[in-house]
Structure 1
Amino acid sequence: MNEKQLKRLIENYLNGNCTEREKTLLDKVLDSYDSPADITQPLEDEHRLQNEIFSKITSEIEGDTSKVPPYPVKKRSSSRWLAVAATILVLIGMGSVYFSEQPLKQVPLHQTEILSSVTDWGQRNTITLSDGTTITLNAGSQLHYPKTFEGNTIRSVSLVGEAFFEVAKNPGKPFIIKTGKVTTRVLGTSFNINSYEFNDMISITVRTGKVQVESVSRSGKTDAVQLVPNEMAQYSRSNDSITKSIVDNDNYMDWKNGIIRFSDITFHEASKMLNRWYGVDISFENEALKKCHVTARYEHAKLQVVLESIKFATKGMDYEFTDQKKILLKGRCQN
């Protein structure tokens, strides 16, 4: 197994595309690390980290599973596991970990300490990186990034969820965002990435500057598009393809300014947005209600204001808090 194969394996696992055998064996490797710090902390022997990760994964994935003894399965924290997997992916992307049959070069591992920022549903957070880049994380998102970019030829981070990037200009150090099979490369610009795992699409929308978006198909073919303001690239996980279109930026970047917009979408689609926005769980009394449509725009609005507004507009829908964070939509719509 070489670096490219290992990178693809971890990306497939993050996207849920591994075989059951690969998933089981890779779980064993990731379970041996309690946190990203176990991977990025300074080591007396600068070669040990590279050799350790590579040898563990190679022996497990390429080994004979019939000879692997049973092992106790931990009750894994999904956020901890994802942070560890994403950390390995970021390290590979930064060139800080080398996997080859040749002797390993000395690498200043103190520069590869990986930090993580995680937002729960209903939360948003703004982070400023060491190079001055500002990133606003939407609800239910995770960003993994180096503490410092000093000494690296590129600036690389990993994202799960949605974030708005305002990248500090540095022509000598491209900024790279890894989201599953999609890689976004920029020098200095502002744009939005939506890569929630429950969505089929990974979307990149540009506000200023120019962005290059690349995806690698299952056959290994690289597809790339360049975006300018008011253009969007979408990678379909199911179709394994990338497309480009012209869009209205406001529809994709309003969330950063506290605006939630329903543009003639179904109640089912709107409920997913409310789940992320307010950290609630919305269910439906009947299937017909899911197909009702709603068009509205709210700015820094409380949840009950949004629900009352939709109730008034539909003239038949009602809602009930069955728990502090659980809402049942019931009735019917007449819009």
Structure 2
Amino acid sequence: MKERSSLPPDLEAALKQHSEAERRQLEALWNRLAALERPLEGIPDTEQAWTELLSRLPQTIRAAHPPHRRARLRWPRVAMLLVGLGLLGTLWLARPHTFTVPLGTNQTVTLGDGSTIFLRGGSRLVYPRSLLSPRPRWIRLQGEALLTIAPGPPLTIHTPWAHVEVLGTRLSVRAWPEAAETQVTLLEGRVRVRATTQPEHTLWLTTPGQHVRISAHHPLPTQPEKIDPERVLAWQRGGFVVIDEPLATVLRELERSFGLRIELAGSLPLTRRLTILYQRDAQVERILQDLCLTLPCRYRRISQGFALEPDSAATP
């Protein structure tokens, strides 16, 4: 049978979303403070004292009303309330903030230390509510982002497959779930990349344009390769660039970039690798036209986007 809590009902209701361990800590603190409130002894009863005084006064004075009893301030209870509110505020600040970008949009998040993170549609960012504390700085990313990190203590970017440690650095990180890999491109400064499964293996990127991958199938970082930074920055200018990616990844990129749905109405070579280069002002129908010339296939509009199907006329 569950023990009844000694916390006030309002405070108990406010703590329902917190863990059992946190609630027990607050209840223990509440009980300790309650023990500090000793019973008031040696204080005369004001009602009895007033009655005795009236018995000694003339009849004309007795008609006066006794003064109202002043409420005795219970400072220990006030202290308990303040401590409880402070603890609730601390617990709230300790909970990280989660930010998800809607499909078809790009949005910027500015952290408490001045760092800026430009996120692609469909990305998810988790970060502490305050980065001004002396604790190590960190964020958690699922998706794609351009990061400009303010100088200060090292900031670690956690993805499902890699940890990226930066110091006053500008870089691009790509970590989509379906790709099962993390790609890091250095734009300014330097970064250290480690695999989540084998963190003892470290790789430094020190030259702008260096690019590295860590995947679920190959947990060690690949040797850095030199790429054109404009390739990874195209999506921020409204472009659309994929380099040697499977058709399935290309279609998912289109959904995220344009906020629409692409359905398959037939069998298409989803593992076929493609390269598409639109440095700016990409339009979804122009991209679909290029796809259908390459595969071949046909596309048609549907209520929420487009449907792709094999081009039977082009099949031998």
TM-score, scaled to structure 2: 0.63
Q: Which residue of 1 aligns with 2:201?
A: 223
Q: Does 1:165 align with 2:143?
A: no
Q: CA deviation at 1:205?
A: 0.9
Q: CA deviation at 1:184?
A: 1.0
Q: CA deviation at 1:200?
A: 2.3
Q: Which residue of 1 aligns with 2:62?
A: none
Q: CA deviation at 1:227?
A: 0.6
Whole-Å separation in 2 of the counterparts to 1:260 and 1:223: 33
Whole-Å separation in 1 of the counterparts to 2:269 and 2:118: 36
Deviation track 1:221-269 (CA, whole Å, cap 9, x = no partner) reads: 6211101211122112123322232131222232122210244655444
- From the superposition, tell whether residues 202 and 288 of structure 1 become closer, same or farther in structure 2 (CA, over 3 Å): closer
Q: Does 1:180 align with 2:160?
A: yes
Whole-Å separation in 2 of the counterparts to 1:316 and 1:40: 59
Q: 2:277 aligns with which of 263, 281, 296?
A: 296
Q: Which residue of 2 aligns with 1:23?
A: none
Work out whether residues 265 and 293 of structure 1, in 8 Å CA contact, stay in contact via their aligned partners in 2.
yes
Work out whether residues 235 and 280 of structure 2, in 8 Å CA contact, stay in contact via their aligned partners in 1.
no
Amino acid at match of 2:177: E
- From the superposition, tell whether residues 195 and 316 of structure 1 become closer, same or farther in structure 2 (CA, over 3 Å): closer
Amino-acid identity (%): 21
Q: 1:141 aligns with which of 96, 115, 123?
A: 123
Amino acid at match of 2:105: Q
Whole-Å separation in 1 of the counterparts to 2:105 and 2:19: 25
Amino acid at match of 1:167: I
Work out whether residues 177 and 185 of structure 1, in 8 Å CA contact, stay in contact via their aligned partners in 2.
yes
Q: Which residue of 2 aligns with 1:120?
A: 102
Bigger-Rg structure (1/2): 2
Q: Structure 2: state its 5+ residue gaps.
A: 1-14, 31-88
Q: 1:258 aligns with which of 222, 238, 248?
A: 238
Q: Which residue of 2 aligns with 1:234?
A: 213
Q: Which residue of 1 aligns with 2:225?
A: 246
Give the superposed CA RMSD: 3.6
Whole-Å separation in 2 of the counterparts to 1:46 and 1:254: 55
TM-score, scaled to structure 1: 0.60
Whole-Å separation in 1 of the counterparts to 2:166 and 2:249: 31
- From the superposition, tell whether residues 318 and 144 of structure 1 become closer, same or farther in structure 2 (CA, over 3 Å): same
Q: Which residue of 1 aligns with 2:301?
A: 321
Q: CA deviation at 1:207?
A: 0.7
Whole-Å separation in 1 of the counterparts to 2:22 and 2:170: 29
Q: Which residue of 1 aligns with 2:194?
A: 214
Amino acid at match of 1:118: T
Q: CA deviation at 1:111?
A: 4.5
